[in-house]
Amino acid sequence: MTERVVVTGIGLVTPVGSDRQTTWDSLLKGRSGIGYISLFDAEGYDTRIAAEVDDFDAAALLGRKESKRLDRFSQFACVAALEALEDAGIEMDAEDPDRVGVLIGSGIGGIITITEQHKILLEKGPGRVSPFLVPMMLGDIASGQVSMMIGAKGPNFSTVSACATGADSIGEALEMIRRGRADVVIAGGTEAAVCEIGVAGFNSCMALSTRNDEPQKASRPFDSGRDGFVLGEGAGVLVLESLEHAEKRGANVLAELAGYGSSSDSHHVTQPHPEGEGAARAMKWALGDAKLAPEDVVYINAHGTSTPMNDKFETIAMKKMFGEHVYDLAISSTKSMTGHLLGAAGGIEAAFTVLAINEGAIPPTINFDDPDPDCDLNYTPNTAVRREIGVAMSNVFGFGGHNASLVFKSFQQ
């Protein structure tokens, strides 16, 4: 019999809140976290807006010495992981550390550290480059740092699948527990790429919105006026446990992680498949893994990046997967408020999906003012909706053709 896996804790650091509750309250109010870039001087850039994490004091949360040795993406991961563990009521002293794993991914890793140290190399020479450069920039180091911080000695590694990273991390954590390799896994995604080279790079491939005069209206998934995504930063972490372990310690179960599907478009380095073929397969496999029918799904937290092609092709993929039931679905893109957190997107959006089930509320897609005829589904426009949700899906699709889908359901004994 396949081990059932449940979610018992959530940790969030996002552009709309530096913890779980603030973030969720902001989403239900339809509050945008997008504004003018403050992390560097963006004068002269095509895009001068981003979804930054405000009022984030890593030194106060992690200690001054420790935080100085962590890139911003690792700081986010550590803070989110600590909140998730507290939310779950996990006391590491009471756990077998060999049975606790950490799987937190990043699509880009320590790009801020690389940028800063490269400047030092050019201006001051190789002898002035920090000895912490390499351990701060590694893509797997957030997972490693969380493991060291909490004393988890089980499997500890990082997946990298562009924007699908966070969801793939959670999906692989599910499989790890099912295999019996761990009782508890802290899983999710983290990212901090709002820096000179990050923004310039995405501008060069014409992926970002340039709606600089209206930052809070720039991310508008499925709207006919969308012109690109808005770069965001932050982290989303879940505590996953085997049901047996959670029940043994009397944990509060938020939802059950029932299924995971992962596929490749095998089509183009940045563009999604125009018929949504790969995305539809990921959804199909996730539902099959969960042993659920398409008609069971009530809500989808869509990838919904606010780019012209993604939103159109994702709509095609949902129609391909769900048939006529697609018109009964509630769908939303929370990226309209948080921006696109790249490798962290799957982590925070999985958390949002669990909260939607647990709270009986669907966050809106804001800035949905002028519907695109090609995007004709119920995207929960502009206002949150109260609704009982038995089964929900979170979808993320990334550069390189990576697709990942997670299926959560309300917990039943």
Q: Catalytic one among 245, 340, 375, 402?
A: 340
CA–CA dist 200, 219 (Å, integer): 18
Name the active-site residue from 78, 163, 195, 375.
163
Element at 264 (helix H, strand E): strand 255-264
| DSSP conformational letter for 120 | H
Q: Rounded to whole angstroms, how far apart are CA atoms 229 and 218?
A: 8
Q: How many CB atoms lie within 10 A of CB 43?
A: 7
Helix, strand, or coil here: 20?
helix
Residue 254, phi then psi, degrees to nearest 5: -85, -35
Q: Which element (helix H / strand E) includes 186? A: strand 184-191
Q: Are 27 and 384 in contact, with CB atoms under 8 Å apart?
A: yes
Say if residues 221 and 327 touch (Cβ distance below 8 Å). Answer: no
- State the CB neighbour count (10 A cutoff) for residue 174: 22
How many angstroms separate the CA atoms of 158 and 250, rounded? 29
Q: Where are the alpha helices (DSSP H) in 10-164?
A: 20-29, 58-62, 64-68, 72-88, 111-124, 133-137, 141-150
- The answer to whether residue 273 is catalytic is no
The angle subtended at Cα 384 by Cα 382 and Cα 386, nearest 5°, is 150
Residue 402 annotated in active site = no
Show the CA angle centred on residue 313, arms to residues 217 and 271, nearest 5°. 90
3-state secondary structure of 36: strand
195 belongs to the catalytic site = no
Report how far apart, in Å, the C-alpha atoms of 167 and of each of 17, 67, 159, 307, 309 are: 20, 26, 10, 20, 21
Quote the CA–CA distance of 225 and 336 in Å, as a whole number.
13
- State the catalytic residue, choosing from 78, 245, 273, 303: 303
- Active-site positions read 163, 303, 340
